[in-house]
Amino acid sequence: LPAQEFSNILLDEVENGIYRLTINRPKTLNALNADTLKEMDAAIEILEADPSARVLLITGAGEKSFVAGADIEHMSHLTPIEGKAFAEQGMRIFRRLETLRIPVVALVNGYALGGGCELAMSCDFILAAENAKFGQPEVNLGITPGFGGSQRLTRLVGRAMAMELLVTGRTMSAEEAMRRGLVNHVYPQAELADEGMKLAAMIAGKSSSAIQLTKQLVQRGQDLDLDNACVMESDLFGLSFSTEDRQEGMSAFLENRKAKFS
Ligand code: CAA
């Protein structure tokens, strides 16, 4: 599916190598149905195939919501087997996003509930607007999280706080989410998009090979024991010495000039 045919999301290259994916169903507060997930999958495929891609920003259309969850209307018609397939679809796509070779940053501009919180947690990190709200309210619908919420929330905020949030279904403010380590920075709503672009430009100006190797280290390392994780780090450290960026980065330092990465 080419980007021009998307009807539930927007994918644009805002500047060289800086992509923005917007979940674009504002009438449902950007709820995720199967078609939206399919388009996200196609968008990730486009990014995977573009060697000039440097960073991906993900946000929601409108002023009110990032993503208010999986689409409850859609889910209300599903059998248990179909429900499982829907979870597997979301799980696979979020994992594909999480392991995309470039950094992925969520700009959470309002509600990030259920599947929305799960989407934000599948990004490398989160910038939030002051009005953002985070939570896993699935218990209120008589279901469990299905796109990785029970697992990623526990890894990000610890077991005790994750349990509290999961069993009460309560929402957290942006400020609380930052205090708990879920969110990196909170900005006034009107400044979130600009702050996201500033950060993206900073990332895009650095060594893309070093950034991609670093993402692999963090992503793969967190599921390894420390001995194997450190072996991987020395391997990729060695590999980074084979790049032109290493040549340029070190020469620039020694010559007292700013590095210009290709
Ligand atoms: N799915 C489908 N439609 C949704 C939706 C969702 N998750 N969230 C909001 N909408 C729709 C509403 O039905 C409403 O549609 P209509 O205008 O046609 O009535 C429209 O978006 C606006 O929503 P509200 O009128 O409810 O707006 P509000 O400001 O009063 O409340 C809200 C906002 C608190 C976010 C509320 O909409 C809400 O609680 N939404 C559901 C949140 C939720 O439970 N998310 C988890 C879903 S389960 C899940 O995600 C499973 C998983 O892990 C995979």
- ipTM of model: 0.98
Q: Dump pLDDT digits (tens) for 1-44.
A: 788 889 999 999 999 999 999 999 999 999 999 999 999 999 99
Could you say which of 15, 45, 98, 138 is catalytic? 138
Asked whether the whole model's pTM tops 0.95, one would answer yes
Q: Which residues contact 125 (CB under 8 A, 6 or more apart)?
A: 105, 106, 184
Nearest CA to ligand 1 atom 45: 69
**Ligand 1 atom index nearest CA of 136:** 46
Residue 243 exposed, middle or buried by CB count within 10 Å (0-12, 13-18, 19+): middle
| Amino acid symbol at 131 | N
Strands 18-23 and 9-15 come out as antiparallel
Would the pLDDT of 186 be above 90? yes
Looking at residue 262, its pLDDT comes to 84
Nearest CA-CA partner of 177 in 91, 93, 106, 102: 106
Please say if 63 is a catalytic residue: no
- State the average pLDDT for the chain: 97
> d(Cα 56, Cα 53) in Å, to the nearest integer?
8
Would the pLDDT of 251 be above 90? yes
The alpha carbon of 40 is separated from its chain's Cα centroid by a whole number of angstroms, namely 12
Nearest CA to ligand 1 atom 43: 69
| Amino acid symbol at 13 | E
Please say if 138 is a catalytic residue: yes
